[in-house]
Structure 1
């Protein structure tokens, strides 16, 4: 059924979807809008080109009012064959928004409302557009369109007319520079920083001294570190010793920006740099590279309150280990957007796997903290087959040579000019394969009349800063920067409004870091334009894998190919050419299977190549590009058997397999006990670490793993009883201890205890992330129709997830109640079969309580009388046996029937949108 209204909401329609659908069957399309920008036009270029190519007639009136419409976007639209475009000029305001579609044999319809031809107008902002089908009404509207078309101030788009408008547009740009980003004398934490600060303070209260923050590029991690230093100073209180900070980074530009940040947050502290011949003296806050610090024993021997390691993913390098091993500090804070290094080293081990806070790019965009993007996948013309592949990547020199082609530059320029940018002037960064490639691109564009420059790792720091300043200056001609080995991290240039990925992606983490260069909020940019030139090679799918977001799949219009099924974050779009889709589908068919012994061998081998040696168990933790360790264990039987299969097992491990009790203990340590408390793991750790006095040593576990202090439990007998119930331990325990042969082996062989601990680390890391690492939020932060895990739902009620307390369908925290229910319970045990269903009006749900719940007592009464008791009911529905619950928003109870169990009818605030109905498996008008 065709919608009558388009408000850009899930329950009505998105005007962009209306336009796309209409273009597929229309013969004539008339449009009148105030504003035309690339943010809207670039999403429909393929549709418009297909429409005009089959003979469709397009007439568009766009205004130059207020110098908002982009001249370059008007030029692209007017250049489409079969398109007639006119500009309304002059001083009179022009606010018309009108779309008419004539279909062969189906008459005409028109939409009148408020949507301009921009991303906001077509998809993001709340607009109001109404469809008219009555022939007399459409005739009247068309007469008004003809009247506008014939006005003397509505002129055809010609080169001369566009040139005149371009001059006016640029003059307006220079006469009224964009509003400056806020720079107050006393900066305040943003919402993401506030969440992270609370998590860091909590960890310190629990005795943790090392932690990492994983946050998407652009969320202000350096400001976070400076704010956290202020929190630490307040925690420490007054005293004779000054507050001392060491900030480590690997590039001078990063240190310069960090120094400016700390000086804004801490004007009372002295700062000093240890770079380029500068000396920090006796500064309170020292900014240094790791290399410069190695030769300064006086700085290494200081006691610091806070040590910050920026771009923490570099910290696995040997030089970092030398420095960090010599430092004395109250707290070490690692900052990174991507802890998964391209070379595979496990940097989170440095902070004992304490992740204080984590917010990745899709969530950051979804919460409005970063600018959304439009990703265009363009089929590359380069033949990558002859380029040698070594050590998990293309040979650098051969790759550069393959990419430096005039024909490829033609392709890049054509698409860059056609897709455009959002902003008042172009600010495009192209990521290149190396120094020669960057210089080639800059010189090639310069020879064609474009203002372009190359910035590489060999460019002197002062020259880099000069080029960055010119690039961000609205009055400067420099609009294109081609980079290699820089701008991957650390440098903030919010003016960037378009990115070119001109080389094959090396890793999902690096791609996201580079993408993050353009996602920082800027007052002139509502969307980042991303052009990725996709070739036929094994890494071609990495960008889409990095951008996809399962949790966002119910939100907004789906601008992605169903055949590839990658859903972008909210307000973003993934647009693929037909040839690009063909290439990606072919690559996906050629990739090895993701499961099975051979696939797991390939994953192990890939990790080994990246690391430069055999991987450890923890190298499989937290990496989306390799199997989880439980899958490896299931395939091979145990970790030692995996290493034996891969040729990496040493003599100790081969001997361990020949001793049944030892092999059984190691396998048992690899088992996830699904424990609701950490105490069984603490008991196992004590049993192997102190086999003769383990009952009194359980407490030492919490010193070894301080992040678990919140679950401290020294009741050894109860913990042992839990272990004894687990099948894996039945032959290993006797008379309240490990069997004698294992105790003797542990006393004679320290490695066995270390091997058990390394296996425990994997399970402990996952459990801790779920139960104590959740970011605490409020119900206001929940997004309707987004998918959530149970632990995330609990975190949004403001508390950490506790599997022993939060395993029910009714979770109450203060005045908020989360109802977690499942529509299809056929796979559940008989006691958990509930009669839950969406009613025919699509705005009510019949919900059945648990068997023992009654409507007039306990949690049942809290649900049925929620309004009187002041509770808010939040409904989460799992369509089937999936992991995610879909948030359907606050609900009201309108009817209650029965008792133990009882049935409540819940009223939603709106009818279920079509996309959600489809996921829920229901139909409706």
Structure 2
């Protein structure tokens, strides 16, 4: 960035930050408060500054392993780029743990020193960028809670190198640094001895003590009173309300680790049955469940009994049975059908099996409760129908993290082993999976990303039985202590391995196809995924193995080795819970992971992230199978044919994906083989037009007019305009004409007009709007009318993410056709826009940032970001400054023409571009230049720098510019 321009922007930003917040200027460098509120955390800003800096220095008194872990992926990527930094810390209050200092030594590109300053309590982060410095200073130490969850006050400032403030901070740092001691293994050994003899409690964060207290409350309840947590209290109320309606069945959907067993015990206590039956699929779970129930229900020891292969306590008041035993005819018929007032089935998603159905169909309890973390099925069985569609309560992973019910996790998506440009994929031979090079790579990554606690207790998920056995042997030869378990191992062998993992005899259990669910190892502190993601359900099940809280850990580390797998796109889907199958949503959830709650973080190494983007681009997320699976899941849950709005409400597939696939919901239902009332060709054309043009909610005006005409047979233009004003949207003559052109079909191409039967859908007579006569007649058909209402309902929801006060919303995505409509062009000229077009006093510019290699040289323009708010743009070739087309653009201020910039990463994103806002042309930047045509000649072209009104959002900017 040019120095004078940088100075001007910095002056403007300081004016906005310290003098007048209402000054209408760019705020790229404005001072701001970072408090971990309103979706901008200290961590996100820290990562943003690290990503763009040349060097960095941290001066922080306190550092925890969790805080350091949140930066490890970024620091690794910086090491690959040759970026180095320095960290100055201390032993103040004996807060920093010896193990944390060992983690610091793993950072090869970070020099660490220990200050001897008495009472050292600083919290400052300085980043040296090419042209300026940025600084974060305030209350946040380098702990995961301070960076992401706690209510903090930190000021973010920007300064040129000669600024007095930045020099004060730098000089203070350098003075302390020069007298500080370098971190070394020897220093850590000496500190460890000193640390261990201190008479007061040592902890890496106060949250550890809180975790211990909660754990003690839940595990030593023989002497303490256990009370329901927030989720359990709400669920118990829901169950009570459900039974008050006369319901005899209920389903609890609750993420692993959220206390389902305690919840059911509380409900049994409320219900007070004469006899209760608890059914699970494994005996080891029975023992734990019975122990938990005794803590809640109390009573005599003889009240509790087990029915399994090893125990036959038929007469217990509270009977805990394995499904394998109780489903046997000889055992089942020993009970009267009404023997149990209350029956509970754990892991009830398995209930489609004959053994479960035999038991369920035999007994007639007063209430049947099912519990599961994953009700979604691949075997077509409808678990919701089995429980009369009564979902008593539901809490998924994100909500459970937000409620602090689970152990926080730090997920790391790392690149799998690469050799000679080849990366592990689904066709890789076993010998390569267990080669010494790959094993070395695995060990390096698990050591670098580490674990919380005194020793590693890990679980590795492999891709095959053969890999489990071979890899376990190879790791053992490398000095690790592991054991491989598969479905061939007995229950006793599995339990013995788990016991040895706890005692420290083993560091890792390697497994395939088992331990996905139904196993409770709360002390797990590292999960390693060495297989491709086959489904988001299995992914969450495996991740969930480490999410139970335990006093031995503050968080669990998830290390996911990402290779060239076609299913990589499932990773962001699983982590975010976003089931829309909207490619743009999936990309955004890969780039911006702020959706994860609490102190948990999601981190992708840059090269691993590219593998996910490649998979997203190459994969068709809207195949008939994908759509049918999503449809079946929603239909099963509701017990009826779902509307488009149902998909939104059930957090399922995006209705836009359905419309893109089938033009309208009716056609989609036909493909789902649903019996439907018939509609005429014209009615289907109307549904298609309303769905394809308006369901996306990108402009509220047409949606509101349709809604009004559904309620009233006619409406005046004046009333329509007033209603638009009432909803707070912009209104002007050009926009009203544009809306009218949409319904009259004047905007549309001949091809679209043919699809929509060449008939204006709304008549405008003497300032009165009406649907045309054929639509008015069709609206007598309630089925047709409900379909239109469904479209309108979806469009209102979709519109919420758009700014109603203006035509285009910053950083949302639009096609060329969308832009023609929203800029009020009278006709759809999208097919002739190409890179840009100045028309109707507007000039939208569309840039594909990364051109395909096969794009001919004469089209491979060098458009590029010079900074988040400065873009170097190329006009079409064979133009010069004195060309009429260029002169028209350069005189934009005099003519009042608005220039808008849109860009997308590459053609794999489809037809939509991010809207980066209106732009100005930087003074003196337009220049005549040349570009090669690939045939030895040079073509004339004009380049100019475009200044964005607002800097590009951090995550989008880096997504766009990185190769």
How many pairs were matched up?
Answer: 655
Alignment of 1:553-564 (within 5 A): none
Out of 48, 54, 59, the residue aligned to residue 32 of structure 1 is 59
Equivalent residue for 1:122? 147
User: 2 CA distance for matches of 1:190 and 1:533?
Assistant: 36
- Whether the 8 Å contact between 2:417 and 2:424 is mirrored in structure 1 is no
Alignment partner of 2:125: what SS? strand
Matched, 1:547 2:547: no
User: 1 CA distance for matches of 2:565 and 2:440?
Assistant: 22
- Whether the 8 Å contact between 2:235 and 2:392 is mirrored in structure 1 is yes
Alignment of 1:766-805 (within 5 A): none
Equivalent residue for 1:280? 313
Equivalent residue for 1:352? 388
Matched, 1:421 2:312: no
From the superposition, tell whether residues 563 and 280 of structure 1 become closer, same or farther in structure 2 (CA, over 3 Å).
Answer: closer
Matched, 1:833 2:866: no
Matched, 1:96 2:135: no
User: 1 CA distance for matches of 2:124 and 2:652?
Assistant: 46
Alignment of 1:470-485 (within 5 A): 470-472=500-502, 476=504, 478-485=506-513
Matched, 1:184 2:226: no
From the superposition, tell whether residues 207 and 880 of structure 1 become closer, same or farther in structure 2 (CA, over 3 Å).
Answer: closer
User: 1 CA distance for matches of 2:568 and 2:616?
Assistant: 9
Matched, 1:262 2:293: yes
1:336, distance to aligned residue in structure 2 (A): 0.4
1:158, distance to aligned residue in structure 2 (A): 2.1
Matched, 1:882 2:797: yes
Unmatched 5+ residue regions in structure 2?
1-26, 633-638, 685-696, 706-719, 731-792, 804-868, 870-913, 919-948, 952-963
1:292, distance to aligned residue in structure 2 (A): 0.6
Alignment of 1:437-476 (within 5 A): 437-472=467-502, 476=504
365-374 vs 347-356, which deviates more? 365-374
1:55, distance to aligned residue in structure 2 (A): 5.7
From the superposition, tell whether residues 477 and 280 of structure 1 become closer, same or farther in structure 2 (CA, over 3 Å).
Answer: same
Alignment of 1:699-738 (within 5 A): none
Matched, 1:247 2:272: no
- Whether the 8 Å contact between 2:407 and 2:554 is mirrored in structure 1 is yes
Deviations along 1:688-730, whole A, 9 cap, x unmatched? xxxxxxxxxxxxxxxxxxxxxxxxxxxxxxxxxxxxxxx99xx
Matched, 1:61 2:92: no
Alignment partner of 2:228: what SS? coil
Matched, 1:230 2:269: yes
1:640, distance to aligned residue in structure 2 (A): 10
Alignment partner of 2:703: what SS? coil
From the superposition, tell whether residues 590 and 305 of structure 1 become closer, same or farther in structure 2 (CA, over 3 Å).
Answer: same
Equivalent residue for 2:564? 536
Question: Could you tell me the TM-score, scaled by structure 2's length?
Answer: 0.59
User: 2 CA distance for matches of 1:490 and 1:40?
Assistant: 31
From the superposition, tell whether residues 559 and 5 of structure 1 become closer, same or farther in structure 2 (CA, over 3 Å).
Answer: farther
- Whether the 8 Å contact between 1:219 and 1:370 is mirrored in structure 2 is yes
191-200 vs 272-281, which deviates more? 272-281
User: 2 CA distance for matches of 1:669 and 1:328?
Assistant: 43
From the superposition, tell whether residues 126 and 563 of structure 1 become closer, same or farther in structure 2 (CA, over 3 Å).
Answer: closer
1:309, distance to aligned residue in structure 2 (A): 0.9
- Whether the 8 Å contact between 2:340 and 2:365 is mirrored in structure 1 is yes
Matched, 1:19 2:19: no
Equivalent residue for 1:218? 257
Matched, 1:600 2:627: no
1:146, distance to aligned residue in structure 2 (A): 3.4
1:435, distance to aligned residue in structure 2 (A): 4.4
Alignment of 1:164-175 (within 5 A): 164-165=190-191
Matched, 1:290 2:326: no
- Whether the 8 Å contact between 1:427 and 1:498 is mirrored in structure 2 is yes
User: 1 CA distance for matches of 2:567 and 2:414?
Assistant: 15
1:381, distance to aligned residue in structure 2 (A): 3.7
Alignment partner of 2:362: what SS? coil
Alignment of 1:294-443 (within 5 A): 294=328, 295-296=330-331, 297-299=333-335, 301=337, 303-381=339-417, 403-443=433-473
1:50, distance to aligned residue in structure 2 (A): 5.2
1:225, distance to aligned residue in structure 2 (A): 1.0
1:212, distance to aligned residue in structure 2 (A): 0.9
From the superposition, tell whether residues 561 and 400 of structure 1 become closer, same or farther in structure 2 (CA, over 3 Å).
Answer: farther
1:118, distance to aligned residue in structure 2 (A): 2.4
User: 2 CA distance for matches of 1:381 and 1:561?
Assistant: 26
1:261, distance to aligned residue in structure 2 (A): 1.1
Matched, 1:83 2:80: no
Question: Could you tell me the TM-score, scaled by structure 1's length?
Answer: 0.61
User: 1 CA distance for matches of 2:165 and 2:656?
Assistant: 61
Alignment partner of 1:493: what SS? coil
1:626, distance to aligned residue in structure 2 (A): 11
Alignment of 1:583-594 (within 5 A): 583-592=611-620, 594=622
User: 2 CA distance for matches of 1:521 and 1:505?
Assistant: 25
Deviations along 1:166-198, whole A, 9 cap, x unmatched? 566788899979735323233111111111111
1:376, distance to aligned residue in structure 2 (A): 1.9
1:258, distance to aligned residue in structure 2 (A): 0.8
- Whether the 8 Å contact between 1:428 and 1:480 is mirrored in structure 2 is yes
Out of 676, 682, 690, the residue aligned to residue 667 of structure 1 is 676
- Whether the 8 Å contact between 2:425 and 2:563 is mirrored in structure 1 is no
User: 2 CA distance for matches of 1:300 and 1:176?
Assistant: 58
From the superposition, tell whether residues 6 and 456 of structure 1 become closer, same or farther in structure 2 (CA, over 3 Å).
Answer: farther
Equivalent residue for 1:678? none
User: 1 CA distance for matches of 2:505 and 2:570?
Assistant: 34
Alignment partner of 1:357: what SS? strand
- Whether the 8 Å contact between 1:452 and 1:479 is mirrored in structure 2 is yes
User: 2 CA distance for matches of 1:53 and 1:480?
Assistant: 29
501-510 vs 444-453, which deviates more? 444-453
- Whether the 8 Å contact between 1:559 and 1:575 is mirrored in structure 2 is no
1:57, distance to aligned residue in structure 2 (A): 4.8
1:586, distance to aligned residue in structure 2 (A): 2.4
From the superposition, tell whether residues 57 and 290 of structure 1 become closer, same or farther in structure 2 (CA, over 3 Å).
Answer: closer
From the superposition, tell whether residues 588 and 137 of structure 1 become closer, same or farther in structure 2 (CA, over 3 Å).
Answer: closer
User: 2 CA distance for matches of 1:413 and 1:12?
Assistant: 35
User: 2 CA distance for matches of 1:76 and 1:591?
Assistant: 38
Deviations along 1:532-568, whole A, 9 cap, x unmatched? 122333322222112225699xxxxx99867766763
User: 2 CA distance for matches of 1:481 and 1:89?
Assistant: 43
From the superposition, tell whether residues 118 and 173 of structure 1 become closer, same or farther in structure 2 (CA, over 3 Å).
Answer: farther
- Whether the 8 Å contact between 2:417 and 2:423 is mirrored in structure 1 is no
From the superposition, tell whether residues 822 and 9 of structure 1 become closer, same or farther in structure 2 (CA, over 3 Å).
Answer: farther
- Whether the 8 Å contact between 2:91 and 2:114 is mirrored in structure 1 is yes
Unmatched 5+ residue regions in structure 1?
234-241, 389-397, 553-557, 609-614, 645-662, 672-726, 729-820, 840-877, 889-913
Matched, 1:194 2:233: yes
- Whether the 8 Å contact between 2:579 and 2:651 is mirrored in structure 1 is no
From the superposition, tell whether residues 312 and 549 of structure 1 become closer, same or farther in structure 2 (CA, over 3 Å).
Answer: closer
1:479, distance to aligned residue in structure 2 (A): 3.7
Deviations along 1:602-655, whole A, 9 cap, x unmatched? 7559999xxxxxx9989x9979479999979987968996488xxxxxxxxxxx
From the superposition, tell whether residues 14 and 455 of structure 1 become closer, same or farther in structure 2 (CA, over 3 Å).
Answer: same
User: 2 CA distance for matches of 1:670 and 1:259?
Assistant: 58
